[in-house]
Amino acid sequence: MSRPLVELAGVSKRFGGATALAEVDLTILTGEVHCLVGENGAGKSTLGKVVAGVHRADEGILRLRGEQVTFRSPRDSIAAGIAFIAQELAIVPDRSVLDNVFLGREGSALSVVRRRAQLAEYAALAARTGFDVDPLARAGSLRLAEQQKVEIMRALARDAELIIMDEPTASLGGAEADQLLRIIEDLRAEGRTVVFVTHFLADALAVADRVTVLKDGRLVRTSPAAGETPDSLVTSMLGRSLGSMFPDARVDGPSDGDAVLQVRALSRPGEFAGVDLEVRPGEIVGIAGLVGSGRTELVETLVGLRRPSGGSVRVARTNGPFRSPRHAQRAGLVMVPESRKDHGLVLGRTVRENVTLPHLDQVSRLSFVSRARQTAVLETLLPEVGLDPRRIDSPVGELSGGNQQKVMFARWLFERPALLIADEPTRGVDVGARAGLYALLRKVADEGSGVLFVSSDNEEVIGLADRVLVMRAGRVAGELTGEVTEDDVLRLMFADETREEIA
């Protein structure tokens, strides 16, 4: 067996009153791929952050190559050969991709940054990873998936011995996620050690040598991946087995009432063109497509964040296009955006404030916000989305990633919308909670709203949607109903390429 690289002994970490890690003993072996799985809030990110020197353990010992170490900051851990890719990305938005990749590696303060050498090294990195990101682009202008790639390249550029990745595939599309899994295998072949946090259990089992399950801050067990199945992991993560992931489709099919959303020939130059789209009450429509196929741009246009150049939008009885999210909301159209950190949450404010932000008129009297009214609504709303109502006054920044996503759903289900749009609804949400969110979306639809969601997880699109639209290069490439298979979706996603193969 190989030697231990990192050992945690009796590590505990508390935040205020909440225990994030409780007496965790964990050994990470040199050269292994070690996956951490667990529910939202189980302590996976905290564990990664303790090893990366972001947080300091309250109790317990951290050993690196057999020697006890204390990391006072990420700087110390980087110096010790550890790279950490955080769940909430840490991009410097105003610098170029190149600068971001080589951040912290510019050499001594006096040496001139050698741009040409960096560009060459960048090209090598890009070739090695197969990531195609313009090195001179402003990092902040990139979409989330691209930013994720920049973070991964940064970790690789540091030539670290141990790389900790916290949900690196959450924002990547299927093909890119597969690429990342290959990169992880390459890293292992080079003798590096990888700690990999993910909610995609199949991914975990595909690449991991060993898997550790965390629950409520405690380590349930560490075992060889070969002996586990997704079901066995779910059972120890949740403490119960999970029935089926997806709720049953509505028996009587969507009602044939008037469409809640009717889009005709909607276009925006360079983003999407000639999009026709309809959602009926009670119906869940999923949009699949490659990252960059114009899906996010389309839904952002629907809610009034972007102006279409042509086409019509009609929501329930109101004609759009809408000038702002406020106008869309008035018509009954709301959206859970793709990036909850950038576009969703005010991290420093409480759950209460974040949820009621777009509904202040309903929870106030004469312009005075009524806590009692807020509490009354949230006490039933929070459990409905799977949040503990005792969290009502926690700052959202202190919630785990998955629970933050639930806050976003609570916000937009405060009032039942005519149409709920969700862009990547389950990003970073654990399996148990994901099943909960699917059930919730189905319930919302059954109560008469329409649901439109964008997802890069084809299994999710197929499992949840009554009808699937596939977008390719800004156009609706096709619509699928009935028994949809992953193959059908992929064929439409890559239609051009397959046609070339046939020819």
Partner 1 sequence: MSTLGAQRSHIKLARDYGVLLSAVGLFVVLAVASAPFRTATNQLNLLDQWSTIGIIACGSTLCIVAGGFDLSVDAIFALSGVIAAWTTVHLGSPVLGLLLGMASGLVLGLFNGVLVTIGRINPFVATIASSVVFLGIAQLITQGSVIAVDDTAFSELGLKRFGDLTLPALAFVVFAVLSAVVLARTVVGRKLYAVGGNYEAARYSGIAVDRVQIFAYAVSGLSASIAGVLAASRNSSGQADLRTELAFQAITAVVIGGVSIYGGEGTIPRALVGVLILALIGNGFNLLAVDPAYQQVLLGTIIVLAVAVDAWARRTQR
Ligand X SMILES: Nc1ncnc2c1ncn2[C@@H]1O[C@H](COP(=O)(O)OP(=O)(O)OP(=O)(O)O)[C@@H](O)[C@H]1O
**Residue numbers at the binding site for ligand X (CB under 6 A):** 15, 18, 20, 38, 40-46, 87, 398-403, 428, 430
* 43 counts as binding Mg ion under rule CB under 5 A: no
Largest distance between two CA atoms of the chain: 71
Q: How many CB atoms lie within 10 A of CB 63?
A: 15
Nearer to partner 1, 140 or 224 (CB): 140
Of 431, 414, 416, 410, give the one whose Cα is nearest residue 340.
Answer: 410
Sign, CA dihedral 289-292-293-294, equals positive
Nearer to partner 1, 338 or 466 (CB): 338
242-246-247-250 Cα dihedral, nearest 10 degrees = -160
CB 238, min distance to partner 1, A: 14
Nearer to ligand X, 42 or 469 (CB): 42
The secondary structure element, H or E, covering residue 62 is strand 59-64
Nearer to ligand X, 54 or 291 (CB): 54
* 217 counts as binding Mg ion under rule CB under 5 A: no
Q: Which stretch binds Mg ion (CB under 5 A): 42-50, 62-70, 107-115, 390-398?
A: 42-50
From the list partner 1, ligand X, Mg ion, none, partner contacted by residue 149 (C-beta under 5 to 8 A by kind)? none
Q: What are the C-alpha distances in Å from 295 to residues 301, 337, 457?
A: 10, 12, 13
For residue 219, the SS3 value is: strand
Q: What are the C-alpha distances in Å from 134 to residues 142, 202, 261?
A: 10, 31, 37
Q: How far apart are CA 236 and CA 179, in angstroms?
A: 29
From the list partner 1, Mg ion, ligand X, none, partner contacted by residue 43 (C-beta under 5 to 8 A by kind)? ligand X
Residues 6 or more apart whose CB falls under 8 angstroms from that of 350 comprise 392, 393, 394, 395, 396
* 403 counts as binding Mg ion under rule CB under 5 A: no
Nearer to partner 1, 400 or 458 (CB): 400
For residue 138, the 8-state DSSP code is B
Q: Is 30 exposed, middle or buried (0-12, 13-18, 19+ CB in 10 A)?
A: middle
CB 161, min distance to Mg ion, A: 23
* 404 counts as binding Mg ion under rule CB under 5 A: no
From the list ligand X, Mg ion, partner 1, none, partner contacted by residue 212 (C-beta under 5 to 8 A by kind)? none
Contacts to partner 1 by CB under 8 A: 15-19, 41, 88, 216-217, 305, 324-326, 328-329, 335, 337, 342-349, 353, 356-358, 360-361, 364, 367-369, 388, 390-391, 393-395, 397-398, 411
Nearer to ligand X, 42 or 164 (CB): 42
Quickly tell me which residue has 């409520």 as its tokens: 216
Nearer to partner 1, 224 or 348 (CB): 348
Q: How far apart are CA 381 and CA 375, in angstroms?
A: 10
Nearer to partner 1, 34 or 44 (CB): 44
* 45 counts as binding Mg ion under rule CB under 5 A: yes
* 401 counts as binding Mg ion under rule CB under 5 A: yes
Of 40, 60, 39, 47, give the one whose Cα is nearest residue 21.
Answer: 47
From the list Mg ion, ligand X, partner 1, none, partner contacted by residue 308 (C-beta under 5 to 8 A by kind)? none
Q: Which stretch binds Mg ion (CB under 5 A): 31-39, 41-49, 74-82, 439-447?
A: 41-49
For residue 294, the SS3 value is: coil
CB 74, min distance to ligand X, A: 15
Nearer to partner 1, 185 or 353 (CB): 353
User: Are the CB atoms for 27 and 61 separated by under 8 Å?
Assistant: no
CB 165, min distance to ligand X, A: 12
Helix axes 486-493, 495-502, angle to 10 degrees: 80
* 46 counts as binding Mg ion under rule CB under 5 A: no
CB 21, min distance to ligand X, A: 8
In this chain, which of 77, 87, 394, 458 binds Mg ion, going by CB under 5 A? 87
Interface contacts to Mg ion, rule CB under 5 A = 45, 87, 401
